[in-house]
Amino acid sequence: MSKQQRYVVMGGAGFLGSHLCERLVGEGHEVVAVDNFITGSASNVAHLAGTPLFSLVEADVSVSLPVEGQVDAVLNFASPASPVDYLEHPIETLHVGSLGTMNGLELARAQGARFIMASTSEVYGDPQIHPQTEDYWGHVNPVGPRSVYDEAKRFSEALVTGYRTTYGTDTGIVRIFNTFGPRMRPNDGRAIPNFVRQSLRGDPITIAGDGSQTRSICYVDDLVTGILALTRSSLAGPVNIGNPHEISMLELAQWIVKLVGSSSETVHIERPVDDPTVRRPDITLAQRELGWEPEVSADEGLRRTIEWFREHPEVTGL
């Protein structure tokens, strides 16, 4: 993969998609980002607009994927990904997980390209096995409020597998655990942007429930490295990519308040229905098959994220 490649990044103007585009362009590859801007923003990739290696296509991938010419890899990162977003756009989330994934697979199939599906640790639901390994089938409520996202991703995994076994399409599935970093939307409802924004404002930090529920947090640069390692391999997956650094939400809030130097106090709000109690990836497969493991410490990643929020008040509303 040392020669120039042409990548299509579905959802390329979103948080994760924009970081993938940035890395690929920085490596000298041609990138076509496709986004309908439901949760993404052209501002996330505006700094790439001046290079001939990058183009941005506004389109709903659930309807069509208007990309012409040779393609070497299709990376499907098109979906609302936070509870606030997919609860606001439930049908769109189901469409992009099914029809959007199929359109991406059809493009990859026609071009003989590698297809990478961005799945999620949410397929494990509220897990009964800890940490979570790829052979765990999950504990998901198929009719709960989170099901529009959970089941969309579970269906997309099944669809990817079907194309691989039926048509021989070169596919890989990555199950992404909680990721954070610059360009997260401050109001997307996820813990880290919420806590950072509230701390910088001096507002109360809102903790769901008693805050004992855990997540494992991975800095976005590490995630991108893992995704590209999977893309450039022949591994079908699914493979967990995430940082095993597990922390409770209360501890995370207190840590961010300390890093910000804020006087914010914590307040407790109602915990969402079906909110997972624990979440931590077993990354043995990624270590063994991809030679990948996270390198950026959670502390360093949080410092970088906080600094980005401070430097972009036009985005963060600070």
Q: Active-site residue numbers?
A: 149
Give the DSSP per-residue string, 273-316.
TT--S---B--HHIIIII-----S-HHHHHHHHHHHHHH-HHHH
The C-alpha atoms of residue 133 and residue 151 are separated, in whole angstroms, by: 19
**Tokens found for residue 47:** 């700094």
Q: What is the DSSP letter of 126?
A: S
| Alpha carbon of residue 72 to chain centroid | 21
CA distance 179 to 246: 12
Q: How far apart are CA 271 and CA 124, in angstroms?
A: 19
Beta strands in the chain (DSSP E): 6-10, 30-35, 54-58, 73-76, 114-120, 171-176, 179-180, 205-208, 214-216, 218-219, 239-241, 246-248, 266-269
Between CA 33 and CA 67 the distance in angstroms is 10
Find all residues with CB under 8 Å of 200, minimum gap 6, and list them: 260, 262, 306, 309, 310, 316, 318
